[in-house]
Chains A and B, each alone.
Chain A
């Protein structure tokens, strides 16, 4: 039949996680349609229409979808579900929020955070914090899937799909968005940055993170942190890379003062190149690092900054 991808966006910009989910969807069932649920999100619908491999964009424009509140999202997706044999969303906090509701109402199991499509009904997904990979086969019927987007390449913007505008499917009126506080940053987002530099407990304080900020500014990198650094109150929770935080897979991951607990490794071990700076030679992070520097970070980071300046960064 076809697959339906639920777009991730902020009302203005289509998120890269959508492009990656389209790639996964094309391996499950074609043609691929994308649902943009938003309020005044015309630019998002237009961006989605440019994704290679997308046949049609369905744009549901209604105030109920402005913040993708789970209950109206469930109703909307269910109203379209008949025409699709697979429904996919990126495993973002939005996708994780509304998708299980859809699966439950369709009376099908959800397949969470797939890493790979082995065949249209067989998928690989991480269990036990990524310490094991399960290969699961879905039963006949509709498939409801969330996608770990770091495991898929992004569909490029060479397509030209049609856009069909539809109205809302109704708001059950049992929940409403009140407010949000988003961290403001000029830097790229952790999950889509090409380079990530993260600090751990070894940073010793929140102020010391400015050492990493300087490198990040030079390399156009995102700044992350280990759970230890977050729990110690150095930086807010949305910096957290790890099993209980964000899962990242950038081209380059630089771990600074991070020992490499299993929980942290689960969030970054699929990075293409890993560099680690730690004064403890025995730190487990060195077992996964391509380049390890055993040094005091308070000396090494300023030196690194200086070297980058010399090279014109």
Chain B
């Protein structure tokens, strides 16, 4: 069974985001970039499937600029077998990403695609679901636990108010939530080995997909700032203040 794991190169989650003065977007110049944290969880889950003998090959796919090959290398160092880089500069919307992934799935015929539930830059939370719909496959979003069966998978999902288990027929798309696993760090020997693993380079045109954004971003601004209020001295004073303003 092949598993495909899409990985996105995004601003590192530890970096404080700054909005550009001309409101055209967020400043990405000289900012540390890393693999989207949810995608690391996806890669980890795919590798565990391989270690358990359930998966035969793990393919990491990234759609982005040349530097996204570094993100693929990270996945290869963690244990993925090979990579596909679909090179394009500029922003690619989830629908276009899903269309490219659909074409890759049709060529590679995986049984499972594992995506992060969202990327921490645009916070769209769409790609996995869109891919599943375009392929006519079932999905299990926000996965908390995966159990592979014969031609099917039972997946526990994080939902509002608790957990839900769904059974999906394979092939299927799963999107990962935070508590699915803890991604490993790549060891130095594996980082060295990853340098020899193959990465295919493609373009969106190879898959016949137009990646021109459909949504027009008119501006990007800072969220309204909250002002710090006052300090109170005691719990009694806090209760009194809250009572005074009608909050309790």
Contacts and interface: CB of A to CB of B under 8 A. Distances in A.
Interface of A: 67, 69-71, 74, 92-94, 96-105, 107-113, 122, 126-139, 172, 174-183, 189, 191, 195, 219, 237-238, 244, 246, 251-252, 262, 269, 272-275, 277, 286-295, 299-301, 303-304, 307-308, 311, 313
B107 interface: no
23 contacts: A110-B124, A126-B123, A126-B223, A127-B121, A128-B26, A128-B120, A132-B222, A135-B217, A137-B216, A175-B139, A177-B164, A178-B165, A237-B158, A244-B178, A252-B248, A275-B238, A291-B242, A293-B231, A293-B232, A293-B234, A293-B235, A308-B239, A313-B248
B21 interface: no
Contacts of A126: 123, 223
Contact of A131 (B17, B128, B154, B219): B17
B130 A178 contact: no
A161 to B, nearest CB: 26
B243 A311 contact: yes
A269 B222 CA distance: 14
Contact of B229 (A100, A252, A272, A289): A289
B95 A103 contact: yes
Contacts of B163: 180-181
Interface string B212-223: 001111111111
Contacts of B134: 104-105
Nearest to B247: A252
Interface string B128-169: 111111101111111000000000001001111111111111
Contact of A113 (B93, B94, B123): B123
Contact of A136 (B127, B166, B218): B218
Contacts of A252: 242, 247-248
Given A100-B133, A128-B26, A293-B238, 18 more contacts: A96-B125, A97-B141, A100-B130, A127-B220, A128-B121, A129-B120, A133-B220, A135-B217, A137-B215, A138-B215, A175-B138, A175-B140, A238-B158, A251-B247, A275-B242, A286-B228, A286-B231, A290-B230
B158 A294 contact: no
A300 B126 contact: no
B164 A67 contact: yes
B115 to A, nearest CB: 11
Contacts of A132: 17, 19, 26, 220-223
A172 B142 CA distance: 21
Contact of A180 (B139, B165, B245, B248): B165
A180 to B, nearest CB: 4
A93 B158 contact: yes
B123 A178 contact: no
B106 interface: no
B236 interface: yes
A180 B164 contact: yes
Range of interface residues on B (Cβ < 8 Å):
35 or more
A30 B244 CA distance: 41
Given A135-B217, A175-B167, A252-B242, A107 B229 contact: no
B126 A307 contact: no
B241 interface: yes
A313 B130 CA distance: 49
A104 B94 CA distance: 9
A100 B141 CA distance: 11
A180 B144 CA distance: 13
Given A103-B95, A112-B126, A292 B138 contact: no
Contacts of B139: 70-71, 97, 101, 175
The 4 closest A-B pairs by CB, nearest first: A100-B129, A290-B229, A303-B235, A101-B133
Contacts of A183: 161-162
B159 A288 contact: no
Contacts of B220: 127, 132-135
A238 B161 contact: yes
B91 to A, nearest CB: 11
B229 A291 contact: yes
A97 B242 contact: no
B161 to A, nearest CB: 5
Given A71-B138, A139-B214, A292 B226 contact: no
A99 B221 CA distance: 26
Given A100-B125, A132-B222, A183-B162, A175 B168 contact: yes
A51 to B, nearest CB: 20
Contacts of B178: 244
A132 B161 CA distance: 28
B78 interface: no
B32 interface: no
A137 B142 contact: no
A130 B223 contact: yes
Given A109-B214, A180-B163, A303 B133 contact: no
